[in-house]
Amino acid sequence: MKDLLNGWGLTAATFLPLVGLAVMMLIPKAEETLHKVVALVTSLAVFAIGVALIATFDYDKTGNLQFVVDKKWIQLINSRYIVGLDGISLPLLALTVFIVPLVVIYSWNHFPEPNNPKAFLALILLLETGMVGSFVAQDLILFFVFFEIVLLPMYFMIGVWGGEQRQYAAIKFFLYTLFGSALMIVSILATYSLSPKINIDGHLVHTFDMRLLSTWAGGGLARTTGILVFGGFFMGFGIKVPMFPFHTWLPDAHTQAPTQGSVILAAVLLKLGTYGFVRIAIPIFPQAAKSWAPAIGILAVIGIIYGALGCLAQTDMKRLIAFSSVAHMGFVMLGIATLTPFGINAAIFGMVAHGLITGMLFFIAGSVKDRFHTLEIKRLGGLLIQAPHMGWLLGLACMASLGLPGLAGFWGEFPAILSSYSPAAGLSLPLFRTFMVVAAIGTILAAGYLLWLLQRVAFGTPTEEFADEHIHDMHLTDYIAWVPMVVMILVLGFYPNLIFRVTDGAVIHSLAGVTKLGG
């Protein structure tokens, strides 16, 4: 079993969704139930592989890549098929394989217009391949391919199944992200041609191998060159996160996307950006990362405050949650900007927590929309009366999102703020302490907008418009899809070490370059 997982585990987890997709292509469109079953079985199988991987993962060596496969791929440019899992990838992989089956289950009876479950579920499976692949790839080109694949299904999801402004939102989403990728590919190629040559089969060649590049860590590189190359990565990942001022695609995409799309977008896609910083940009260019850190920190805290203020101004529930994503990802980026193990551990925790909590919020928002056909906060009210279970869950998700201790959100935010008290050696102490204060104010604002949302939507009595309408509380599929998320939010809230224990070793390993630089 262990051997099989070692050789094939990650590859299977990555490509199994494509197999499911191929099977679905052979089934006629009219067989809707069969499509749902195939998609569910596939995603559950991937989940099972994920569980098996997590169970056999060696937790004493989280800093080492495990289950590594290293095969020839495109020999000519020496790009290899390298996949591997370490403590940084593991939580995100787990999050992905966990969320996708839940989304499929939620979809069971809630297909947005124009229906067509075959295409919709096929896109979700394609997304899963891209997401899982991005988190396990250890070769820059391989990573880039997966990173890009994710774009397309999401684009179609928004553009075909989205709301009224779907075309605008879809194109905006695609172009923004493609813009970042375009700069990133130049940086990837620059990294390739700047890196020292290695000996493969007697030939001296450059490499895209992230492991080797991290060991090289930009040694001997001119300062400006490093800063420019990092800039390309910064654009690619920063847009995906999204960081202020590149966040404007996010509210549109989220508002227009179907519920399932929003959930996947919030839960996993945004993490690709932050993951990219932690996995690629910082380990390979530690020196440049130090030069960039203050700028990243500033943008992060602007994002925190701006996102929060944006939330207070929103009249649409989904848009509000989207802006809260900007704020929360600001905390994650602040943790990353400190370049300390503490901060980055917090950032990874923040990614997972945000994925669960905001995913949950989007699920609920989608269900509210299903029942009331509007998300305008003014027109809603008294959810606790009409649909008590849903209202109660909304309350829980809001509490978790504002960082209540005991729930998962707390462990992403609080350590991130704390870590900026003492950033990595060489970074300006006063500046980061200012960030700390500003970010702390951000948490107060977060409490403000989330409680306000809860108060307006869940408390009080139903508005006249919907007072006499019978509103169905949660469906069976809702329970199946949401309960696991709630459980995870609680479990991680009570026992955060579940993740910190996994990430810590890997983070220290990946920050080796920064640590070596010293002051």
Partner 1 sequence: MTSLLFAQLGTPHRIQTPSVAWSGLLPVLVLLGGAVVLMVVGALLPRRSRHSWHLWLTLLIAAGSIGCAVPLWFRVRDHGPLSILRDAVRVDGLALFLGIVIVVGVMLAALLTDGYLRREELEGPEPYVLLMLSATGGLLMASANDLIVMFLGLEILSLAVYVLAGLHVRRLRSGEAAMKYFVLGGFSSAFFLYGIALAYGATGSTNLTDIQRFLATNTLTNNGLLLASFALLLVGFGFKVAAAPFHSWAPDVYEGSPSPVVSFMASAVKAAAFAGLIRVFVYAFALDRHDWQPIVYVVAVLTLLVGSVLAVVQTNVKRMLAYSSINHAGFVLVGVQAASDRGVRSALFYLATYTFMVAGSFGVVTIVGRRGDNRHQLDDYKGLARTEPLLAFAFLVFLLAQAGVPFTSGLWAKFYVIGAAVEARSFWLALVAMLSTVISAFLYLRIVLAMYGGADEADEAAPAVPRLRIPFAARIALVVSVVATIGFGLVPGPLTHASKTAVPKIAAGK
Point out which span in 69-77, 256-264, 310-318, 331-339 binds partner 1 (CB under 8 A): 69-77
What phi-psi label fits residue 429: left (phi over 0), alpha (psi between -120 and 50 degrees) or beta?
alpha
Q: How far is the CB of 26 from partner 1 (least distance, A)?
A: 15
Regarding 496 and contact with partner 1 (CB under 8 A), the answer is no
Tell whether residue 509 is a contact of partner 1 (CB under 8 A): no
Q: 10 Å Cβ neighbour count for 369?
A: 17
CA distances, 460 to each of 309, 391, 436 (Å): 24, 12, 36
- 77 binds partner 1, rule: CB under 8 A: yes
Tell me: does residue 27 bind partner 1 (CB under 8 A): no
Q: Which of residues 222-281 bind partner 1 (CB under 8 A)?
A: 228
175 is a site residue for partner 1 (CB under 8 A): yes
Distance CA(251)–CA(322), nearest Å, equals 5
Tally DSSP H helices, then E strands, for the chain.
25, 4
Of the residues 69, 186, 200, 385, which one makes contact with partner 1 according to CB under 8 A: 186
Q: How far apart are CA 328 and CA 449, in angstroms?
A: 13
Let me know if 94 is exposed, middle or buried by CB neighbors in 10 A (0-12, 13-18, 19+). Answer: buried
Would you state the torsion angle of the CA atoms of residues 509, 513, 516, 518, taken in this order, to the nearest 10 degrees? -120
Nearest to 129 by CA among 97, 157, 102: 97
Which of residues 19, 48, 52, 171 is near partner 1 by CB under 8 A?
Answer: 171
Please report whether residue 189 would count as binding partner 1 according to CB under 8 A. Answer: yes
Q: Is 25 in the site for partner 1 (CB under 8 A)?
A: no
Q: Does 155 bind partner 1 (CB under 8 A)?
A: yes
Q: Does 37 bind partner 1 (CB under 8 A)?
A: no
Residue 148 as a binder of partner 1 (CB under 8 A): the answer is yes
Q: ∠478-481-484 over CA atoms, to 5°? A: 130
Nearer Cβ to partner 1 (168/392): 168
| Selected binder of partner 1 within 5, 53, 136, 160 (CB under 8 A) | 160
Q: How many residues touch partner 1 (CB under 8 A)? A: 33
C-beta of 29: minimal distance to partner 1 in Å? 9
317 binds partner 1 (CB under 8 A): no
Output b/e per residue, 249-274; b: 16+ Cβ within 10 A.
bbbbbbbbbbbbbbbbbbbbbbbbbb
What is the torsion angle, in degrees rounded to the nearest 10, for the CA atoms of residue 27, residue 32, residue 34 and residue 35? 70
* Contact pick of 19, 149, 302, 425 for partner 1 (by CB under 8 A): 149
Length of the chain: 519
Question: Is 35 near partner 1 (CB under 8 A)?
Answer: no
Which segment (94-102, 176-184, 302-310, 467-475) binds partner 1 by CB under 8 A?
Answer: 176-184
CB of 242 to partner 1, least distance (A): 16
Closest CB to partner 1 among residues 77, 302: 77
Distance CA 336, CA 325 (A): 16
Q: Using CB under 8 A, which of 112, 159, 355, 412 touches partner 1?
A: 159
Token pair listed for 264: 């996947």
Q: Which stretch binds partner 1 (CB under 8 A): 48-56, 58-66, 142-150, 306-314?
A: 142-150
Contacts (Cβ under 8 Å, ≥6 apart) of 497 = none
Q: Does 213 bind partner 1 (CB under 8 A)?
A: no
Q: Helices (DSSP H) in 57-165: which residue ranges? A: 89-107, 117-136, 140-149, 151-161
Tokens for 378, please give them. 């003014």
The nearest distance, CB 503 to partner 1, in angstroms, is 29
DSSP annotation of 60 reads G
- Cβ proximity to partner 1: between 166 and 354 the closer is 166
Does residue number 455 form part of the binding site for partner 1 (CB under 8 A)?
A: no
Query: Among 85-93, 139-147, 275-283, 379-387, which window interacts with partner 1 (CB under 8 A)?
Result: 139-147
Give the up-direction half-sphere exposure of residue 518: CA atoms within 13 A in the CB hemisphere: 0
The residue from 135, 156, 432, 500 that contacts partner 1 (CB under 8 A) is 156
The single residue among 106, 120, 174, 306 that binds partner 1, judged by CB under 8 A, is 174
Alpha helices in 314-382 (DSSP H): 317-337, 341-372
Of the residues 4, 22, 51, 182, which one makes contact with partner 1 according to CB under 8 A: 182
170 binds partner 1 (CB under 8 A): yes
Pairing of strands 79-85, 198-200: unpaired
Yes or no: say if 198 and 186 are a contact pair by the CB < 8 Å rule. Answer: no
- Return the number of the residue (67 or 156) whose C-beta is nearest partner 1: 156
The answer to whether 52 contacts partner 1 (rule: CB under 8 A) is: no
Task: Give Cα separations from 319 to 4, 249, 376 (angstroms).
Answer: 45, 11, 10
Q: Which is nearer to partner 1, 150 or 317 (CB)?
A: 150
Cα separation values, 515 from 181, 217, 231, 237, 259, Å: 29, 11, 21, 23, 42
Q: CA separation (Å) from 307 to 177, 313, 355, 410, 446?
A: 20, 10, 17, 18, 9
Closer CB to partner 1, residue 192 or residue 323?
Answer: 192
Q: How far is the CB of 336 from partner 1 (least distance, A)?
A: 25
Instruction: Based on the shown chain and the rule CB under 8 A, indicate whether residue 179 belongs to the binding site for partner 1.
Output: yes
Sole window of 73-81, 250-258, 313-321, 498-506 interacting with partner 1 (rule: CB under 8 A):
73-81
Q: Interface with partner 1 by CB under 8 A: which residues?
A: 74-77, 141, 144-146, 148-149, 151-152, 155-156, 159-160, 166-167, 170-171, 174-175, 178-179, 182-183, 185-186, 189-190, 192-193, 228
